[in-house]
Structure 1
Amino acid sequence: MTKLRNTMIFLIAALSISIVVVFFTTNNAFSDDVTTIRFGHGSAETNERHIAVMHFKDLVEEKSDGQIEVLVYPNEQLGSESEMVESVTLNDLQMVAASAYSQYDQRISVFELPYLFDSYEQAWSVLDGEIGKEVSDIYLEDNLRIIAYFENGFRQITANKAIETPNDLSGLKIRTPEFPISISMFSALGANPTPMAFGELYMGLQQGTVDAQENPVANTYASKFNEVQDYLIMSNHQYMPLPVSISEDFWQSLTAEEQQIIEESALETAQFHRDLLRENEETMISELEAAGMGIIYPDTEPFKAKVDGVYDSFRENYGDDLLDKVLGAVE
């Protein structure tokens, strides 16, 4: 009995020691917890946007020594752009690269006014300066902290007919994002703008639900719209940035060091993305042409003359201040 009692005492003591070790080990593990960021976007894995987001992931994980993990969800896996932005406002998703912010405040669409910018550099100067920050701060009240402007680029039209003048757009059923500026612009050009989720667009073109679409060259190339469209019209009708936002609630839960790593990585990646698209765009156009797509470079002046009313509407809705600042910056 004495031997059995001693054995039991030994086992209880060993168990107690194990519990203490586990307790302290677990508490220590909590101090080394990995911070996880779920990052969604709407483009295919072959798109430069996905390449850029993966670059951001690599930067963040390297700079944090693996203490911040970035999980990337491309190709609208987590919903449409507007749905993903909403998920960030609810803190259900930590980060998103998307253009669908006008559902909360449409002043960000000032950057999307037709023929506003003449060059990429001009657009970047405005976005990376005080005006870009002023606009991004608007969204903090919606739990959206815009930390960088990635690249969407200049938008071009694709269609199954040659478009060389605004008259060629008359009545054309063209897919646009569900953005008021885009819809107003193509209405002013005489087309029939038809909002449709990007993920539905290829089938919509294939089935004739819409006749045409407009997107940056990279999106047309990555989504293989040349398989269902005959012409790429280099209209340069609109520059569109790609704001990258993070949930403000999530942001405030981070340490100052984590915030710095994420913000620095986002800004570095923004320029990486811009440079990547610039470097690849001419190659993509050449490959689209080699695949049988007709490339048209129309005179854009007649198109510009048709869209003054879009500026007037912006002034009526949002006042003169912001628009005058942007126009002053681009002159």
Structure 2
Amino acid sequence: MKKWMKAIALLMVLIFVLAACNSEKAETTEADASEGGYEETTIRLAYNLPADHHISKGIEQFAKDVTEKSGGAVKVQVYPAGQLLSDKDMNQSILSGGVEMGLNSSTLWSSTVPAMGIFDVPYIFENYDKAGEFINGEFGDKLSAAMEEKGAKVLMYADYGYTQFANNKRPLKSPSDFKGLKIRSIGDIPSELIKAYGASPVFMGGGEVYMALQRNTVDGATSGTTAMVQRKYDEVVKYLTINNYAYLEFILAVNKDFWDGLPEKTQTLLTETAQESENWIRAQAKAEDEKTAKQLEEKGMEVYIVPEEDLPEWKEAGMPAWDAFTKNSGELGKELLELVDEQ
């Protein structure tokens, strides 16, 4: 009996010691979390670009880096290529909290913040470096503030690159060559430009364009050459005109209420990692534009590069698009154009 009593007593001592150790470990873990850890959270991130687009690669790396840097506490679940939301449904879902984070074009955001249409104003950014300077300065700050007022926190401006025109009917060597064509558009300002050139704009999402071109529902489309390669435009379109008329951005935005509810440390992690990805994407834009334009030519498309001395004619013919932007974008639009004019 004494042996059993001693064994029980020893067992109780061991249980007490283990409980004390576990309590100490829990306190240490809590202290570590408060000092340097991350609160567990899951963020759904949706986008529609093809998986091999340079922006898609940057977004995928962003999600991976956030998860790794947080030790797996902040999980970014990516839904690429329209798996979760179409580009037409994306913005409303972000604003309503249907998804925490999403990537969509500045063109489509212009229906929520009209001044975001500045990226579609033709011939406003003369080169890649100039576009980056504006986005990283007061110009970008004003747009981000306007987005927050609507309920979306801008986390990243992802450079898509320049947009061009492709069509099946004839080479577009001057604005007058657009007359009578049906051109797929991606928003209000591009539509105004297409109309100014004498063509009819037809709005549709990126995933619908290939079939529309194949079935002659439209005669042509406006897009970046990177997306043209990935969406196999060369199979259904003959002519490509490179005039660098607009420098398109894709916006990585977060639902503002969700953002405000995140711990400051998590916000800092997301902001800093997004900046790293933004810089990487910007560095890829020019190289991707040049590479994919060459690929389209090699695949059989007839490529016409508008000579620099002819661009004033294209810009003058496109002034109705400038007027439409000024009319619809209010005071903020005027401020942005003034910032551009000052440079």
Q: Into which bin does the TM-score normalised by the smaller protein fall?
A: 0.7 to 0.9
1:240 counterpart residue number: 248
Question: Match for 1:170 among 173, 179, 182?
Answer: 179
1:153 counterpart residue number: 161
CA contact (8 A) 1:110 1:323 kept: no
Q: Residues 216-267 of structure 1: CA distance to partner in whole angstroms, max 9, x if unpaired? A: 1111111111111112210211111111101111111211110011011111
Give the Cα–Cα distance (whole angstroms) in 1 for the partners of residues 59 and 328 of structure 2: 34
Question: Match for 2:277 among 269, 273, 281?
Answer: 269
1:9 counterpart residue number: none
User: Shift of residue 327 of structure 1?
Assistant: 4.0
Q: Residues 188-230 of structure 1: CA distance to partner in whole angstroms, max 9, x if unpaired? A: 1111110011111111111111110011111111111111111
Amino acid of the structure 2 residue aligned with 1:317:
N
Alignment length (residue pairs):
309
Give the Cα–Cα distance (whole angstroms) in 2 for the partners of residues 248 and 180 of structure 1: 26
For the pair 1:318 / 2:329, whether they are aligned, the reply is yes
Q: Secondary structure at the match of 1:249?
A: helix
Give the Cα–Cα distance (whole angstroms) in 2 for the partners of residues 93 and 324 of structure 1: 32
User: Shift of residue 310 of structure 1?
Assistant: 2.1
1:253 counterpart residue number: 261
Q: Secondary structure at the match of 1:108?
A: helix
For the pair 1:309 / 2:328, whether they are aligned, the reply is no
1:18 counterpart residue number: none
Give the Cα–Cα distance (whole angstroms) in 2 for the partners of residues 248 and 325 of structure 1: 24
Give the direction of change, closer, same or farther, for the CA distance of 1:33–1:146 in structure 2 (3 Å limit). Answer: closer
TM-score by length of 2: 0.84
Amino acid of the structure 2 residue aligned with 1:98:
N
User: Shift of residue 121 of structure 1?
Assistant: 1.0
User: Shift of residue 324 of structure 1?
Assistant: 4.6
User: Shift of residue 185 of structure 1?
Assistant: 1.1
Give the direction of change, closer, same or farther, for the CA distance of 1:89–1:328 in structure 2 (3 Å limit). Answer: closer
Q: Secondary structure at the match of 2:43?
A: strand
TM-score by length of 1: 0.87
Give the Cα–Cα distance (whole angstroms) in 2 for the partners of residues 42 and 172 of structure 1: 27
Question: Match for 1:84 among 86, 90, 114?
Answer: 90
Amino acid of the structure 2 residue aligned with 1:124:
G
User: Shift of residue 109 of structure 1?
Assistant: 0.8
Q: Residues 259-286 of structure 1: CA distance to partner in whole angstroms, max 9, x if unpaired? A: 0110111111111111122223322222
Residue segments in structure 1 that go unaligned for 5+ positions in a row: 1-13, 15-20
What is the percent sequence identity of the aligned residues?
28
Give the Cα–Cα distance (whole angstroms) in 1 for the partners of residues 93 and 326 of structure 2: 30
CA contact (8 A) 2:97 2:255 kept: yes
Q: Residues 118-137 of structure 1: CA distance to partner in whole angstroms, max 9, x if unpaired? A: 01111111111112111111
Question: Match for 1:136 among 133, 137, 144?
Answer: 144
Give the Cα–Cα distance (whole angstroms) in 1 for the partners of residues 329 and 59 of structure 2: 33
